[in-house]
Structure 1
Amino acid sequence: MRRTIATGLGVLTAANLLNNRVARRWAPVTSAAATGALLLIARRAGLTRHELGFRDARAGAATGGALAAAVAAGYAAGVALPRTRPLFHDQRALALSRRRVLEEALVQVPFGTVLLEEVGFRGVLPALLGRVLPARTAVAASAALFGVWHVLPALDMARANPALGRLTAGEDPAPGDGRRGGVEAGRLVAGTVASTALAGLVFHGLRHRAGLLAPALLHVATNSLGYAAARAARRLDDRSAGPAAPLRR
C-alpha cells in the first residue's frame, strides 16, 4: 500500500509542475489525465465509490450550491467596500482578455484545478492513507499535502496580487512604503500553505457530510467567481477615478 500511495503522490507532483510551470494552458488535459490515473490507482487498491466520496449527489448539489451563493455574496460585498476592494486586484485576471477570462473561469478552474484537487485530495489520497493510518490522521495528512500543493501558486500570487499576498502572510493588506518589495516569499508561502491546509480540512468535512460534489462546487465558486470579482473591482475603481482606458477585450 505504501508503494501505491507513493505512486499517487508522484502523479500529483508531476501534474503540479506541469500545470504551474511547464504547460499552464494545457492544465485541463493534464489534470484530466492525472485524475484518471489516480482513479485507476484507487481501483487497483480496492477502494469503493463510497470511500472516494462519490455519493449523495443531491445533497452535494444542495450544500455546494448554497455555499457557492454565499461566496458570490461575500465577493460582491468585498468588491463594493473600498477598504477590501484592493484584495481583488489580481493581475492574473486583470491582464487577460474577456475571452481568456471566460476560458479560465469555465474551463481552466473546473477542469484544470478543481477536478484533480477534489478527486486527489478529498477522494483518493485520504482513502489510500486511511488504509495505513487512523482516519483522522489520514485526513490531516491529506490536508497538509494540499497546503504544500499550493507553494508554486503562492509564488505567483505574490507577484499578481500583492494586497492579498500581504493579507495571507498576516500583514496589513494596505500598500506599504515599497522598500521591502512586498511580502517576503517565505512568509507568503508559509501563510498560503497554512491557510490552504485549513481549507483542505473544511473541504473534507463537506465531503464527509455531503459527498465530493459539495466541496467541488464551493471550490469552483471560490476560484471562478474571483475572475468576475477582479474585473468588477477594476470597473468600480475606474468609475471612482474618472475616465480611463477600458478593460482589454
Structure 2
Amino acid sequence: MTRVFALVAAVITLAASTTLANRVLPGWAYPVCGAVAALALIALARAAGCSWTDLGLRAFRRPALVGLAGAGLIAVVFGIALAVPSLRTVYSDGRVGDPDLGQLLWLTCGRILFGTVLIEEIAFRGVLPALLGATDDRWRWPPILGSAALFGLWHALPALAIGRNAAVHAVFGATPVVVLQVLAMAAAGVAGIFLHWWRHRGRGVLASVIVHFATNAGGLTLAVLVR
C-alpha cells in the first residue's frame, strides 16, 4: 500500500469517525468509535510501511516523563486561572451540565480519554504526520502544518457549540456562528502544533496524550467544580 493511498484512506476514516461520533451513534459508543478508528489508522499506517517509531508508539519512558512535565505545566496554568476571579469564566461552559462523580469519571476516563484524546493523538500526532513524512530526528514544518490543518477541520462539528462557553460568549457574543466555528477550528489547528511539539520533545505520542488528557479532563473537572 502506498502512503498516498493510506493518507487518503486515513482522512476518509477520520471523516466517517467524527460524523458517526457526533451525529449518529449514541453517547456510550463515542469512545468505542474512537478506539476502533485509532486501530484502523494504525493498521493503515503499518500497511503503508510506517514503523512503530514513525508513529511514535515504540518508546515509553521518555514520552511519559515529558508528558508528565507538560501536565504539571497545565496544572499551574489552571491554578492561576482559578486564583484570578476574572479568569474563572473560562470554566463556565453550558456544555458541561451537572454530572455526578460517576458521570464525571465516565466523561473524563471514557469519552475524553478514548473518544477524544486517543483517536486524536494517534491520528494527528502519529499516523498523519508519519504518512506526510515527519520524523523524530528533526522538526519538519510541512507534515506538522498539514496534520495541524486536518486537526482543525476535525473540530468542525464540535466547534458549532463553542459559543456556549461563557468566556467565548462574553467576547464574541454577537459574532455569527459560522465565524465562531472557523475561529475555533483555527485555534484547534494551533493547539495541534503545540501538541506535536510535546510529541516531538518526548519522542512519542504518549507525551502529547498525557498533555492533551490533562488539558481536556482537567478543564472539564474544573468547569464542574466552579459551576
Aligned to 1:22: 24
The aligned amino acid for 1:18 is L
1:148-167 equivalence runs, <5 A? 148-158=153-163, 160-164=164-168
Deviations 1:140-160 (A, max 9, x none): 1111000111111111222x3
Where in structure 2 are there 5+ consecutive unaligned residues? none
The aligned amino acid for 2:131 is L
* Distance (whole Å) between structure 2 residues aligned to residue 129 and residue 157 of structure 1: 30
Task: Note closer, same or farther for the CA distance 1:39–1:165 as it changes in structure 2 (3 Å cut).
Answer: farther
CA contact (8 A) 2:89 2:166 kept: no
Question: Residue 5 of structure 1 is aligned with which of 4, 7, 10?
Answer: 7
Question: Post-superposition, which runs of at least 4 consecutive aligned residues in structure 1 deviate over 3 A?
Answer: none
* Distance (whole Å) between structure 2 residues aligned to residue 25 and residue 18 of structure 1: 12
Deviation at 1:135? Answer: 4.4
1:58 equivalenced with 2:66 (yes/no): no
* Distance (whole Å) between structure 1 residues aligned to residue 158 and residue 215 of structure 2: 15
* Distance (whole Å) between structure 2 residues aligned to residue 7 and residue 147 of structure 1: 18
* Aligned-pair Cα RMSD in Å: 1.9
Task: Note closer, same or farther for the CA distance 1:165–1:198 as it changes in structure 2 (3 Å cut).
Answer: farther
The aligned amino acid for 1:124 is V
CA contact (8 A) 1:94 1:230 kept: no
Find the residue that maps to 1:151 and give its secondary structure: coil
The aligned amino acid for 1:161 is N
Aligned to 1:216: 209
How many percent identity over aligned positions?
37
Find the residue that maps to 2:99 and give its secondary structure: coil
TM-score (norm. length: structure 2): 0.89
The aligned amino acid for 1:27 is Y
Task: Note closer, same or farther for the CA distance 1:165–1:35 as it changes in structure 2 (3 Å cut).
Answer: farther
Find the residue that maps to 2:86 and give its secondary structure: coil
Aligned to 2:42: 39
Question: Residue 141 of structure 2 is aligned with which of 127, 132, 136?
Answer: 136
The aligned amino acid for 1:147 is G
